[in-house]
Structure 1
Amino acid sequence: MPLTDTAIRNAKPKDKAYKVADSQGLYLLVNPGGSKLWRVKYRINGTERKLSLGAYPEITLAEARTARDAARKQLAHAVDPNAAKRQARIEASIRAGNTFASVADELIEKKGREGRTAATLEKQRWLLKLLGQDFGKRPVADITPQELLHELKKHERRGRLETAKQLRAFAGQVFRYAAATARAERDPAQLLQGALISPTVKHFAAITDTAQFGALLRAIDDYQGDPAVMYALKLTPHVFQRPGEIRQMEWVEIDFNKAVWTIPEAKMKMRQPHVVPLSKQALALLREMRGLSGTGRYVFPSVRTKARPISDNTVNAALRRMGYSKDQMTAHGFRTSASSLLNESGKWNPDAIERALAHMVPGIIRRIYNQSAYWAERVEMAQWWSNHLDQMKDIEIQ
């Protein structure tokens, strides 16, 4: 006779455990301690097995019957319910171990082994931290688009539109890596395209007026402070490479005899090595700096320790102390200034200028051609540009 809730409640413990049968193999095991446990008896391959379904009243009679029916359906397809339950438990354990944070850490470590710059890896660790501990502890396969959007909207509400955009892109990388390594089936971040407010594109502030740029160069010559910062400021206009590449410049990268600075691909944004011709003025500045830091690794070491270069905001901070606001000039702005003034001169092939700036040109064949065809022009341009910088210092603002 099938069980009822009343019969279950009236089943009292005895000196020994006993069973109260329901139907189709389902029964309730009443233990001497008072616990009441659901079990299903079944046979597979001629062997009798028992499947645990949980305890009453946490698992109701109706829920126990539903679980029994599900087990019988598995048996109909030659699946052992106990084996399926064990596999589900293993998969749940794996999902719990494969949290978003653990997968993200693994991805960042992989990128480090592939040669990504320290600055890139540091930025990604910062983005992971911004997503929060609670989000990071969630199994990566269980995170929904709504859950990710909730985290991104927190930053959007605070006006951090660019941060929210970067977080979505980073999360997408993690989800795609999880999918590629069989730990997730989809990328929830991809479904959120268009869900966030697009940030207004901001360009790095730069001075492109010849007279005003000359005034800036005079101010740099007059700047007093840590020698590493002083010389980094003076060298930056001559080589006009990215601030991170300049601050991480190492002495082994400088060939004084050939007058070149070779930046390894690990430090380059475009992941390709870049060779910079050095003018006589640039070489003179580096020789002066070699007398100050030549025994160490970095050309521009930190004031705190020679084991690290100056920080990524040091040159910008120096510009602020010189009276230039972030809306007037930035460390990255020297690239814009050089690009604008070199193109404005009309003396140089635009492709040679783009190559000097280490901008990626489309097409593998064109990139190979640009690396060789414009070298002589770039060497000549580097010297002309340094001479032009000296001339600009003499131009007074009207």
Structure 2
Amino acid sequence: MALTDIKCKKSKVPAGKKQIKLADSDNMYLLVTLKSKYWRLDYTYNGRRKTLALGVYPKVSLKEARQKKDAARKQLDDGEDPVLLKKKNGPVDCPTFKEVATKWHQKKSNELSDEYAAKIWRRLEMYVFPVIGSYPIAQVDSPMVLEMLEKIEKQSYIETMHKVKSLCSRVFRFAVVKYGKKHGIEYDPTTNLIDALTARKSKKMATIIEPKQIGQLLRVIEGYEGTFVVTCALRMAPYLFVRPGELRHAEWSEFDLDAGMWSIPGQKMKMDDRHLVPLAEQVIIVLRKLHVVTGHCKYVFPGIRTKDRPMSENTVNAALRRLGYEKDEICGHGFRAMASTRLHEEGWPSDVIERQLAHLERNQVKAAYNYAEHLEERKTMMQFWADYLDKLRDTPS
């Protein structure tokens, strides 16, 4: 039964589903998702099933969608592929997704480590460019991105799917600012997908939260006999409780030891926002000793083979294994859960703890992220935490 304007307007996704298709005629249908509605036409060309995007409802009405469908059917009768014609006759001079992504990557590469920049590019080449890379970016819409992400999900790569979505979002946001006015790129199509994707599985990082066991761990760390650089990283990790990647990529230019502050640039943070880490007296003492050894290097914890790169990703975890701790007992990321649990138990306000963990996301409605929020309380808390750890370490069970 053909669609009507009223049926299109009132259509909704039933509870428990992510999307539905409402058939019209000649394989045209309205794809109804939780946030938007899209006109689509399924057809076969050279034995392959393909889908043509006809527009977004209600911007494109039912009547207009049928007119576009009829035009596409005529192209098929003439032996032409509507999707290829649409790509060929896209917006004048509108760059493709790959071209925009390349410019974005070139701009961001100056702010990222070579290793991370290469990892980002590999993801784009593997998962994104083969699917939407050749399309003018103004033509890439939510269903196209969703179809691409669902292919990744079908391979059981749920975490990778979310990372690719986040990566595409950054490219689209760059396009809105860089090319939006000229080519009519008004929004990031990934923002509509949150309810259509399988949620990430929460990871429970191995950690130690019992005071006596923490004290034992710290005493074992004190006896570590590895290189001086790794020893310093291992000893400071519990006191700083930053993410492992933030620790190993730390640069001397980010530290003000006299002021007792480490300022991590936004491009190194998970939320792309600058983060302040107050340094306890115990941490400053270790850093001053380490500066004598690596102060001439870019990185606080340079690698063994080359000083131009940070220590390897698994260094802290490998050191913990050498000390006899298994991966299901404690890992480098586990120091964050350790600090969060004990500080909450000691009565510190949740807002202060979460801000220091850099867990709070920006509220898009409010003003810019306030990286200095609760800073005085955080300074006091970080010194308390260092003294607390020292006390546990120096109190044999």
TM-score interval, smaller chain: 0.5 to 0.7
State whether structure 2 residue 234 is matched by structure 1 residue 241. Answer: no
Per-residue CA deviation, residues 152-201 of structure 1 (Å, 9 max, x unaligned), is 34433332212123323433544565575428798775676555433322
CA shift at 1:355, angstroms?
3.6
Q: How does 1:70-81 map to 2 (within 5 A)?
A: none
AA aligned opposite 1:164: M
Distance in 2 (alpha carbons) for counterparts of 1:206 and 1:169: 28
TM-score, normalization: structure 1?
0.63
**Which residue does the alignment assign to 1:334?**
335
CA-to-aligned-CA distance 1:16-60 (integer Å, 9 cap, x gap): xxxxxxxxxxxxxxxxxxxxxxxxxxxxxxxxxxxxxxxxxxxxx
The whole-number CA distance in structure 2 between the counterparts of 1:214 and 1:296 is 33
The offset of 1:220, in angstroms, is: 1.8
Residue pair 1:145, 1:191 contacting (<8 A) in 2 also: yes
Cα distance in structure 1, aligned partners of 2:114 and 2:184: 27
Q: Deviations over 1:322-345 (max 9, x none)?
A: 343443322222122112111211
Matches of 1:196 and 1:332, distance apart in 2: 26
Change beyond 3 A, Cα 1:254–1:200: closer
For residue 131 of structure 1, report the CA deviation from its aligned partner: 0.6
1:274 deviates by 3.4
SS in 2 for 1:276: strand
**Contact 1:208 1:337 (8 Å CA) reproduced:** yes
Which residue of 2 is the match for residue 102 of structure 1? 99
Answer yes or no: is the 8 Å Cα contact 1:232–1:300 preserved in 2: yes
1:91 Cα deviation from its structure 2 partner? 4.0
Q: Deviations over 1:338-375 (max 9, x none)?
A: 121112112x343333343344377768975x937651
Q: Distance in 1 between matches of 2:276 and 2:166?
A: 31
Partner of 1:307: 308
What does 1:129-148 align with in structure 2 at a 5 Å threshold?
A: 129-131=125-127, 134-135=130-131, 137-140=133-136
Structure 1 residues 343 and 133: alpha-carbon distance in aligned structure 2, compared to 1, 3 A threshold: closer
Shift of 1:294: 1.7
Match of 1:385 in 2: 385
Looking at structure 2, the residues matched to 93 and 163 of structure 1 have their Cα atoms a distance apart, in angstroms, of 31
Question: Which consecutive residues of structure 2, in runs of 5 or more, have no partner in the other structure?
Answer: 1-73, 79-84
Matched positions, count: 310
CA shift for structure 1 position 263 = 2.8
| Residue equivalent to 1:164 | 161
Query: Measured at CA, do residues 294 and 199 of structure 1 come closer, stay the same or move farther in structure 2, by a change above 3 Å?
Result: closer
Q: Distance in 1 between matches of 2:340 and 2:103?
A: 39
Aligned to 2:120: 124
Cα 1:169–1:304 shift into 2, 3 Å: same
Which residue of structure 2 lines up, in the alignment, with residue 206 of structure 1?
Answer: 207
- Alpha-carbon displacement from aligned partner over 1:106-151 (angstroms, at most 9, x marks no partner): 23334457x5777764553242133166336532456687765564
In structure 2, relative to structure 1, the CA distance for the partners of 1:101 and 1:327 (3 Å cut) is farther
Q: Which amino acid aligns with 2:243?
A: R
| Cα contact 2:232–2:286 (8 A) shared by 1 | yes
Which amino acid in the other structure matches residue 304 of structure 1?
Answer: R
- CA separation of 1:102 and 1:321: change in aligned 2, threshold 3 A: farther
Asked if 1:267 is matched to 2:268, the reply is yes
CA RMSD in angstroms, aligned pairs only = 4.0
> Helix, strand or coil: the match of 1:159?
coil
User: Which deviates more from structure 2 when the two are superposed, residues 193-202 or residues 116-125?
Assistant: 116-125
- Counting only pairs closer than 5 Å after superposition, residues 337-352 of structure 1 correspond to structure 2 as 337-346=338-347, 348-352=348-352
CA–CA distance in structure 2, aligned partners of residues 187 and 257 of structure 1: 43
Q: Percent identity?
A: 36
Aligned 8 A contact 1:256 1:283 in 2: yes
Larger Rg: 1
Please show how residues 1-398 of structure 1 align to structure 2 within 5 Å: 91=89, 98-112=95-109, 121-131=117-127, 134-135=130-131, 137-140=133-136, 151-174=148-171, 181=180, 182=183, 194-346=195-347, 348-360=348-360, 371=372, 374-375=375-376, 377-395=377-395
How far apart are the structure 1 equivalents of 2:160 and 2:280? 39
Contact persistence 2:96–2:136 (CA under 8 A):
yes
5+ residue gaps, structure 1, are 1-62, 68-86
Corresponding residue for residue 41 of structure 2: none
Helix, strand or coil for the counterpart of 2:372? helix
| Residue aligning to 1:77 | none
Alpha-carbon distance, 1:99 to partner: 4.1
Q: What is the letter of the counterpart of residue 354 of structure 1?
A: E
Tell me the alpha carbon deviations over residues 213-247 of structure 1, each in whole angstroms, 9 at most, x when there is no partner. Answer: 22221222222323322211111111222222222
